Structures are given as structure tokens and as C-alpha cells.
Structure 1
């Protein structure tokens, strides 16, 4: 279970909060949330903190400009940005206005930034290409601004041990054949060697699911089960463990990689494996319902571990209403599991935001300040190093810019890295959250609510003493 958000005080200096004309307190429901109107702030310009009068002399102006740039670079060297993607950088197929210039400007100033998404089911490079397409970036610009900075919900799985990657895993998600290909990237990224999809199982045993299937679309692609394993040799679910045929299919892990498409098939298969004896498909554990055991015996007999890439209930598309995400699938699975087991807990491991493990991974990437360490080029055939490899540079503050209070804002608010860096959540209005009469304020409180990602960066820079107009920020590009 994810712990409730903790109430905590802010470490932001009052002088910096004054620039936004607002006060805030993370986690306090009674706090007044600042809503920044940057139209009223566009008269503000950056003033170098030099302590001397400006001069009309050209040489003095050049020196002042150089000092200003050095001051900006010094500040940017101490902070970082973590951008959510869907609902922050784009909606549907359209980029939020100003985002290409924003990223180009931050890149030119050598600011540290990453893209921290609960999306998944694809390679990080493919996600980078998709983001670049929405922003109408050339390949050169995409490689400079985006490639190597993407962290998806399942990216931390790359650091799993080789022993785990040798296990047999059932994987499902938005595009199950693509998910298999991601997991099978042997030489560079994930490295799972025995990957099975629901489509494979439906082909191997037609009786697994008795209803009409999406054979000609979703389940059209399938492969033979690895190692000569069979999904149909067990005919008695209560057979003794000693009588299980040696070629019977056994699943070690179940990986839900982002927004499953055929919920009915997936819930059926996950149920079958979680009630099985040690992951043998077609068996039923004798320990199920044993009140003397933890969780009344459910999931206590070596069943596969269930991993979920994220628990986002909603995500934002071009549709005016939010669409269900992976979290909705998990809630549906929980409901079925509770009905089957008489209320037993569904035991699973979650990844993605708002979990600490995901934010810790992202934090280490920012400390490394080397985009190439986040994900390697597909042609390089190199294994990405662990998050703690390389030379780290400390950070004073990281601004998490997101659209979902339940994942982006909650995660950044609760994350307290051991090195003392402060993560500051900023909520934008372009995504999941909408202010309504029923929900005038988000349940998890951000530092500030702004209209879009450009205004979020302007607020963050203002909080650091760099007061810019939108136009001036765009000139950084």
C-alpha cells in the first residue's frame, strides 16, 4: 500500500516565494494554493544581482550581460527539472505551445532536466521519437533535447539481476507484442529472455478463454511457448505437485506494462496464475483459503510475483474527459480478486510515480547529469550503467512539473532524498486535474498551480531569483 502523504514544512526562502506573490505548504489541506497569472507579471525582467548601477557604455553592457549569464548558469547548475510528458508537454497529438523553445532554451543554458513518465510498453527511444514528432523537431534537435532523458514507469527494471531476467514472465500492456520486443532487448535494455504474452497462451490452449477473442487484431500475433513448454498438459487442477508434467508451463513473474487492452483475458489469466501452485498454469494451490496462513493462504504457495508499471487511475487525451489508465485495470483486478477470495488482499508490486523508488531513480539520473547514461543508443550495444555510476553533481532543488496530483504532486511532495535535495511539485492545468466545484483544490497540494509548462518553469526560475518574461525565456533558445 502507498502511505498517506505526510504534512511537512517548506524550505523555500520567503523572498523567493514573494516573487510569486503566494505562500504554500506541502501536504496541508488548509493551505491556500497560489494560482499564478503571468499576464500580470510580464513587466518583470531579469536583473543581475551585481550590486552596481547599469551603464549605457557598450563595454559595460557586455560585461553586465556576461555577468548575468554567469549568474543564471550558476543558479541553473544547482537546480533540476523533472517533466511529466502526457498532459504537460502535449495533449493527444499536439504539443503544448512553447514547449520546443522551452526545452531548447533550457538545453542551451545547460540546465539539468529529465522526462519522468508513468507511460510505458515501449522503448525509451521510441517514446523520445514520439515526443519529438509531436513537437515537430528534426532528428538532430530530438537527439539534443529529448533522447537519453526519458524515464518510463518500467525503466528501473533494467537494473534487475540477470537471474531475474532469465525467469519466465507473462507480460501484458498497451501493445503486447511491442512489450515483448521491449522485454527481449537482450543486449542493451531490459534483457528478459523468456517472455510470454496472453496471445501466446490463447494460441497454445484455446480452452483458456471460452469467449470470442480479438483474434484478428489484438491477439493476431503470437509465438510458440519457449523451451517446448505446454499450456494444456495439466488436466486436473488439484493434481499433486509430484504428478505435474516436466513440460508444464510455469510462470515466475507477471508484468503489467501500461494500459492492458483486453481486460477480460488478462484478468482471467492473472487470476489463474495467482491461485495456482507455484505458477503452474492450470493448477490450484491447496493453501488457498487456509486461515492459519498469512492472507488466509492466498498467494502463499510460490505463485508468480505480480508487478504493475504504474497505478495512474486516469490519463489525459484529446477527449474532454479523462481516460482510464493502468490503475483502473488494477482496481478492476482487485475487485475480482476480492470476490473470488472473500476479501483477501491482492499482493503486488507497483512501479512508477508516486513511489519513492521511481523518484530515487530519477534523482540519481539528475545527479549524474549525463543524458547518455539514462538510455543508450540502440545501435551502441552497450548496457546502461547503474544509477549510482559515474560522477555525481549535487542539487539544491528539483522542480517536478506534472498534471496529476495523485502521482506527480504526491510523489514529489513525499520524496525526501537522503542528500537533502528539495523536490518541489508544480501542477499545470493542461492535463488530468481540473478545478471543479466538487474539487476546488487537488487532494495533494502543489507549491503552485499554473496554466502550462512554460509558466511552471517561469515560476520555478522566479523562485530562484531569475525573473523573466515569457518572451525573454523563449529567447534562451
Structure 2
């Protein structure tokens, strides 16, 4: 875009801009377009087509001079076309006098930060549409799941009214893509909603199976509940399990714990057998998350996978007198942050053509979001709209910054990165 503007200036014989620098003209037009936007109008992206810069426009006062040096015409917003965005007015005094400025990367938790159950929090739409307008790279990192990243991105796009790509979504089970092909080729128990089976297949697992399918193979394995079972797709009399995968929250704790314990105590993964005495865990066990609590629209926080894990490990130790060896993914595990950081950098470079300065992580759960961000060296921001609701900071896992809501978190980030004017409150 800079070359287009320069060529246009040269073609019109302009050498120096005294009354307004070309940079100021650009910034003024951008600020006017942003602040004059109404809730039912588009906020255009900073492209040559939307800036409407015309050096022959009689309303734009530009004077010639002898100096031929035109500098500082890079602007904050990357000149890349963005999908149409319907947005309400956001009263921020943006600093657009920045040249070649790196952008902050922002990692958002979802539940308790952007939504409460089925309800989108009131600050969410303004926040994300502002970031899209400024081409600031952001991602969603949640310990939730139960669906593919593509489907989750489509769901979030609809709920948040901004275009979101699957590359921007990391779910609790997303790093399970990295599990070895040796395990992916074996029979694996998948714990979570039925949809998790299809997610596992999308990650390359060839033989995922649900507990309700196992029960239909031999109902006496869980002789309690009268539930709708699914036909067992494999010959479990002759198959061996290769792993237990906790993909997402279980709504059938009893049967999932029973069958998982049976597999882990079996002889070489053969369900229906048992090591006597128990010596070692038959197959590896993976968990997508370990948070004890999560926040929805109920007044009190709900049990998460961490609560299931506590019950599971306690019962297993009672049976075997030994601990389960669990390979843990999700927040606050380092391997999940490694996975997310790599995706953020790729998304920022390939989709936005932006370099990242610092990374900020916005969450509501101190023991998960804050702990993970602090351990990884990111700037943790704790909001008061989810698990953490009151107080100056959490005593056990203090965040670097505490704010009331997600919009306040982004205002703080923009201020820290000098993307707001000094007099912005």
C-alpha cells in the first residue's frame, strides 16, 4: 500500500506535505472511520480500497515543497482484506501513529471469559470485533472439547459474529494429534460424549471405541443403567487395547471409570483379563484436561475433568495399591502451551502477515489459566466474570494483571503495547 501512495504522490508532483503529513492524513481517516461507525454499519479494513485516499481530492489540503523525502507512512493496521464485520461503536482512542509495529498475541479462554454457558458475555462482541479490525492475532485455548476444531470455529463464528478459523482454536484434546501412530493404529477407549469418537478419527485414530459400545459387547461389564447402547464395531474377544483417552467431560462416570480400570489392569490390554498380582499399567492413559472446576451460567462452578480424574485415580489405587501413570494435556501443561504457541505464530504469519511482540493469556480460572500462563512466561490476565469473581487477586495463583472483564483486558493490552493514546483511560 505504501508504494501505491508514494507513486500517486510522485505522479502528482508532491514533494513535501506541510499542512498535514501523509501519515496524519491516513491516521485521521482511519480514526474517523472507526469512531463514526454505528452498530449497523461496517468497519472497513485498512486497505487501499477502504482508505479512500485521493491526492486530487480538493478537500485534502496538501502543499508542495522542495524537500523530496516522504517518511513514516507505515500504519498500524496491516493492509489485508478482512471479512465484513458488523460492530457496535467502541470508544477507544487508538494510536495509529506507529510504524512497523509488531502486534501482541492474545490467548483467550472461553468459558467464564467470553461466555457463561449459553450466554455470550456483553463485552465479548466489542472485544473480538475490535481485534479483527486492528488485525491483532488471537486464539482460543480451552480445556473444553468434544468436537473438531473446525466445528468449534464455526460455532464461535456464529456466536461471536466475527470470522474465526479453525487454526485459531485449541481444545483440550487438540494436542492428542501428536500421539504416535503406533497407538493410533490400535483399539483405544475414548471417554467423553459420542462426538469424541469422530474427533479421534479426525486425528488419525483408526479404532476408537466408546464405553456404551463396549457394554453392548458384554452387558454384564456394567449391569446397572438401562441406556441406549451402540453396537460394538470390533471383536473384543480377539482385540487388544492400546490406550485410554479421556477426551472430554464424562456424563457416565461410573461405567467409564469401571471400564478404564479394567483395561489398565488387564493383561496386555485384553479386556476381561486381569493381572494377578497387579504389576504394571497395561496401556498408556491420556487426559485432555485436569481442571477441577469450570464456569457456566449456573451460580456455582461445575466439576470438570479434574474431578473425574480424582475419583478415577483414587479408585485405581484402592484396587492396585499403585498410582496411574497419566499423560496430561490441556492447561496448565507445558506441552499444550508449546502446541498453542506454534499455532499462534503460524496463524499470525500466514493469515495476518504480522509479527508478534508479546503474548497475553486471558482467563478466569487461577489454578488453570493463570498458572499455565505464568509457568510458560506469558503475561497472565485474570477476569472477574468466571471462576474468579471477587478480590484483588488470587492468593494461590496470582495473575500479573486483574481486570473486571474481557474488554478491559484488551484495553490494558493495547495500552501496554502503546496502541492507545497516552490520554486514553
Residue 99 of structure 1, CA deviation = 1.8
SS of structure 1 residue aligned to 2:259:
helix
Q: 1:283 maps to what in 2?
A: 273
Q: 1:465 maps to what in 2?
A: 418
Structure 2 alignment gaps of length 5 or more: 1-17, 31-72, 77-94
Residue 105 of structure 1, CA deviation = 2.0
Alpha-carbon distance in 1 for matches of 2:390, 2:316? 34
Q: 2:310 maps to what in 1?
A: 331
Q: 1:224 maps to what in 2?
A: 232
Alpha-carbon distance in 2 for matches of 1:371, 1:78? 11
Q: 2:394 maps to what in 1?
A: 441
Q: 2:333 maps to what in 1?
A: 355
TM-score by length of 1: 0.67
Which among 286, 296, 301 is matched to residue 307 of structure 1? 286
CA shift in 2, pair 1:469/1:260, >3 Å = farther
Q: 1:94 maps to what in 2?
A: 119
Once the two structures are superposed, residues 62-86 of structure 1 have per-residue CA deviations (whole angstroms, 9 ceiling, x without a partner) of: 2554769437565762421011111
Once the two structures are superposed, residues 160-181 of structure 1 have per-residue CA deviations (whole angstroms, 9 ceiling, x without a partner) of: 33333211100011x1x21111
Alpha-carbon distance in 1 for matches of 2:304, 2:150? 22
CA shift in 2, pair 1:59/1:280, >3 Å = closer
Alignment pair present for 1:398 and 2:366? no
Alpha-carbon distance in 1 for matches of 2:268, 2:152? 36
CA shift in 2, pair 1:156/1:74, >3 Å = farther
Which among 243, 247, 262 is matched to residue 252 of structure 2? 262
Q: 2:174 maps to what in 1?
A: 155
Alpha-carbon distance in 1 for matches of 2:315, 2:410? 43
Alpha-carbon distance in 2 for matches of 1:308, 1:394? 33
Q: 2:380 maps to what in 1?
A: 425
Q: Any conservation in 2 of the 1:458–1:468 contact (CA below 8 Å)?
A: no
CA shift in 2, pair 1:60/1:103, >3 Å = closer
Q: 1:116 maps to what in 2?
A: 141
Q: How do 1:30-429 and structure 2 match up within 5 A?
A: 61-62=24-25, 65=28, 69-70=75-76, 72=96, 77-135=102-160, 137=161, 141=162, 144-173=163-192, 175=193, 177-185=194-202, 190-213=203-226, 215=227, 220-226=228-234, 228-230=235-237, 247=238, 249-288=239-278, 297-299=279-281, 303-342=282-321, 344-370=322-348, 395-416=356-377, 423-429=378-384
Query: Bigger relative contact order, structure 1 or 2, given CA contacts below 8 A and separation 6+?
Result: 1
Residue 338 of structure 1, CA deviation = 2.5
Once the two structures are superposed, residues 256-286 of structure 1 have per-residue CA deviations (whole angstroms, 9 ceiling, x without a partner) of: 1111111010111111112111111111113
SS of structure 2 residue aligned to 1:369:
helix
Residue 56 of structure 1, CA deviation = 8.6
Alpha-carbon distance in 2 for matches of 1:86, 1:430? 9
Structure 1 alignment gaps of length 5 or more: 1-54, 231-246, 289-296, 374-390, 417-422
Residue 335 of structure 1, CA deviation = 1.7
CA shift in 2, pair 1:159/1:371, >3 Å = farther
Alpha-carbon distance in 2 for matches of 1:392, 1:277? 53
Once the two structures are superposed, residues 171-196 of structure 1 have per-residue CA deviations (whole angstroms, 9 ceiling, x without a partner) of: 011x1x211111123xxxx1211111
CA shift in 2, pair 1:222/1:468, >3 Å = farther
Residue 131 of structure 1, CA deviation = 2.2
Q: Any conservation in 2 of the 1:104–1:145 contact (CA below 8 Å)?
A: no
Q: Any conservation in 2 of the 1:83–1:113 contact (CA below 8 Å)?
A: yes
Alpha-carbon distance in 2 for matches of 1:191, 1:432? 34
SS of structure 1 residue aligned to 2:241:
coil
Larger Rg: 2
Q: 2:87 maps to what in 1?
A: none
Q: Any conservation in 1 of the 2:285–2:325 contact (CA below 8 Å)?
A: yes
Residues matched between the structures, number: 346
TM-score by length of 2: 0.74
CA shift in 2, pair 1:201/1:59, >3 Å = closer
